[in-house]
Amino acid sequence: MILECPECRARYLVPDSAIGTTGRTVRCANCRHSWYQDAPPLPERTPPAEVTSPSVDTPEEAIAGAPPPAPPPAPAPPPPSPSPHPAMVIEEPDPAPYDAFAHRAPFRPTRNTNRIRTIASIAAGLLMLAAVAVILWTTAPGLAEKIGLSIGPAELPLRIVDNPIERRKMANGSELFAVSGQVTNPSSQRQRVPDIRADLRDAQGKIVFSWTITPPQRSLAPNAAIDFNSAQVDVPATSKRLDLSFVGEDRDTAG
């Protein structure tokens, strides 16, 4: 089909397939003018001509009644040639302009399964360690000392006041060694009471017998005191001195 620019009247020969069946926007290569070009019209279908059977005449009648031959049709004028302008530019529809503030779907990063599992394992291990520490602190301080864990402060504000030692013979002939005393809290804060270690020493200061005394309660209020007592049977006769101290302390309180 032939397109003509409505501005500069430049003409272009463009195939019908370039315009399509719905039309499109084109631009003149001469003056840069753009316009919307409709699709070319579809060719009309002509109904087929009726075929009539001619009447049969004799040769003489056919020659006598035949019309004179029609002159040959004049040749059709050649189509106007398009101007020697460059090929027409067919514009494509402009893409949607970029909008930095337009709504977009939120970005969803991919999940790293291995990293999530590692973090969960570390968190579970920390929770287990915390639970073990709480158990050792509240229920088994002596066990913590035996395995080398120091769970108490370096120096406790608690004090041990012991009573005189009692030794007496039992009916079965064995000797009963009884120890009693009191734990005081002179501080202004509630304190935890650890186990009490009893050490019997000989005249040279060497430990000859030891045992652990469990206090009747594990917490002591400010300026409060609790009594404790313990007894052993058949302690060494060479023991001359009793030392009482809290488990985990290096200092001794002699009695």
Per-residue pLDDT tens over the stretch 143-188 = 555 555 554 444 678 999 888 888 888 888 888 888 999 999 999 9
Give mean pLDDT, residues 42-57: 62
Q: How many domains does the chain have?
A: 3
Residue with tokens 């370039």: 18
CA 77, 83, 87, 91 torsion-angle sign: negative
On whether the pTM is more than 0.75, the answer is no
Q: How confident is the model over 198-251, as pLDDT tens digits?
A: 999 998 989 999 999 999 999 999 999 999 999 888 888 888 899 999 997 654
Query: CB–CB of 196/160 below 8 Å?
Result: yes
Residue 89 lies in a domain: yes
Residue 227 covered by a domain: yes
Q: Are residues 197 and 218 in the same domain?
A: yes
pLDDT at 251: 46
For residue 102, being part of any structural domain is answered with no
- Same domain, yes or no: 188 and 222: yes
Neighbouring-strand partners of residue 199: 210, 243
Task: Look at residue 194 in the predicted model and tell me its pLDDT.
Answer: 93
Query: Do 142 and 206 belong to one domain?
Result: no
- Same domain for 85 and 125, yes or no, is no
Range of the domain at 180: 159-254
Q: Which of 159, 158, 200 is nearest to 178 (CA)?
A: 200
Dihedral, CA atoms, 251, 146, 211, 161, nearest 10 degrees?
A: 30
pLDDT for position 84: 45
